[in-house]
Amino acid sequence: MNLTIADVRLTPILVADPPLLNTRGVHQPYTPRLIVEVETADGVTGVGETYGDTKYLELARPFAGKLRGRPVSDLNALFTVADEVAVDASRVSGKVDVGGLRGVQTADKLRLSVVSAFEVACLDALGKALGLPVHTLLGGKVRDTVEYSAYLFYKWADHPEGVPAEKDGWGAALDPAGVVEQARRFKERYGFTSFKLKGGVFPPDQEIAAVRALAEAFPGHPLRLDPNGAWSVPTSLKVADEIGGLLEYLEDPALGTPAMAEVAARTDVPLATNMCVTTFAEIKEAFTRDAVQVVLSDHHYWGGLRNTRQLAEICRTFGVGISMHSNTHLGISLAAMTHVASTVPGLHHACDSHYPWQSEDVLTERLTFHEGKVTVSDAPGLGVALDRDRLRVLHRRWLDDDGALRERDDAAAMRVADPDWVTPAVPRW
């Protein structure tokens, strides 16, 4: 068996995305993703996916060049090889990431997001070569299914007039009744029993009303609200006071560890984050100050599936809960998320996934949710297969784009509808 990486293929694509609202703006009609393939000398191919914005592509290309000739099993070396690739300083703003809403942007975060796709692709290839599923390479699954939550969004019925976009069949959701209707459809179609609402879009009182409406429509179902750090500490405490009893947890009510610690000290409502704990370096302060009670892992942030497991172990050591965050992603990443989640003991909260919002994929067969759960594949590797025709179509869309959509920018997408829109200062309320 020859596990040497003989070829690496990078395919940037644009995938349809509905007009989902968040505190910074609205999703673009198409979102960039990068599909990574590694092929061994024996012709075994593994796949991974990550963010597709130019800053990630600029890193992925030289990184891919350095991997040829290395074994796909050389997973630890991915990080040292990534460190050898220079990051263009102009690509690192030092500000809060626009599209990903993942805290302050750094060169290391960029590197880890790129490594994540290659690590998943290498694990997929290694698993296929050995005839073993990825979860076995991670030490073995401790559950046969992974539970996901319905990811509810305020949304428009359509992207702004005149903007080329795919039609989605979800309609608008701009008030409590619309949110409840969306949740009902999620439950009917996929069987989800946990509901997360992306907040920070409307003044807190309106979002409090939406959570109350959800609680009334779905009694006993776990609910979460995530305003992406849009609130001040007093506002966070007011919301916690009013609807804390209805929530499984409150996600990133305020921005940054100091503010989260202040909120956490004055409420019993558990706080979750995918914004103030996004790297190993950020763990110490957050855990020492008891700023968060649940960390929402994301293998794209943390540098892959093995680092996600390491994060889970640290959380377990400190008695902090673990679950999973999601950004716009396709089936390759959902498969990767499911494999790693299946190996994590103490996963007490349903994971987030945007997947139901993505009508397009690059797989021959879409992954499915039954009773809100994805069955863990026991097939070799990730258990998914690339649809090359679909990949070509979505890559063609990327090639045909004049550059306007190649960088995800929710504020710019919002300005198409509202030319006066500026990214709101934080805290917004």
> Shortest approach of Mg ion to residue 251 CB, angstroms?
5
Q: Which is nearer to Mg ion, 23 or 274 (CB)?
A: 274
Residue 226 CB, shortest distance to Mg ion, in Å, is 4
Nearer to Mg ion, 49 or 251 (CB): 251
How many angstroms separate the Cα of 341 from the Cα of each of 63, 80, 82, 143, 373?
27, 25, 25, 9, 12
Buried b (16+ CB within 10 A) or exposed e, 396-412: ebbeeeeeebbebbbeb
Q: Smaller CB distance to Mg ion: residue 30 or 151?
A: 151
Question: Closest CB to Mg ion among 199 and 372?
Answer: 199
Bridge pairing between strands 150-153 and 195-198: parallel
CB of 228 to Mg ion, least distance (A): 6
Question: Nearest approach, Cβ of 386 to Mg ion (angstroms)?
Answer: 29
Query: Contact residues for Mg ion (CB under 5 A)?
Result: 226, 251, 274
The amino acid sitting at 150 is A
Check: CB of residue 356 under 8 Å from CB of residue 149.
Answer: no
CB nearer to Mg ion: give 81 or 271: 271
Take residue 267 and report the two structure tokens written for it.
């409420």
Quick one: 35 or 315, whose CB is closer to Mg ion?
Answer: 315
Rounded Cα–Cα distance for residues 376 and 40 (Å): 25
Are 58 and 88 spatial neighbours (Cβ–Cβ below 8 Å)? yes
User: What CA–CA distance (Å, rounded) separates 36 from 60?
Assistant: 9
CB of 20 to Mg ion, least distance (A): 13
112 in Cβ contact with 302 (< 8 Å): yes
* Closest to 225 (Cα-Cα) out of 234, 242, 146: 242
Residue 183: CB minimum distance to Mg ion, A: 18
**Helices and strands in the chain: count of H runs, count of E runs:** 14, 14
Q: Between vectors from CA 49 to CA 48 and to CA 53, what angle results, nearest 5°? A: 145
Omega of the bond prior to 12 within 30 degrees of 0, cis?
Answer: no
Cα diameter, the chain = 61
Nearer residue to Mg ion within complex by CB, 138 or 211: 211
- Nearest approach in angstroms of CB 239 to Mg ion is 15
Residue 87 or 351: which CB sits closer to Mg ion? 351
**CA–CA dist 187, 120 (Å, integer):** 30
SS3 (DSSP) at 421: coil
**Angle, to 10 degrees, between the axis of helix 233-243 and the axis of helix 204-217?**
20
From the CB of 426, what's the least distance to Mg ion, in Å? 14
Return the active site residues.
198, 325
Listed residue (14, 18, 6) closest to 392, CA to CA: 14
Residues in the chain: 429
Q: Strand, helix or coil at 68? A: coil
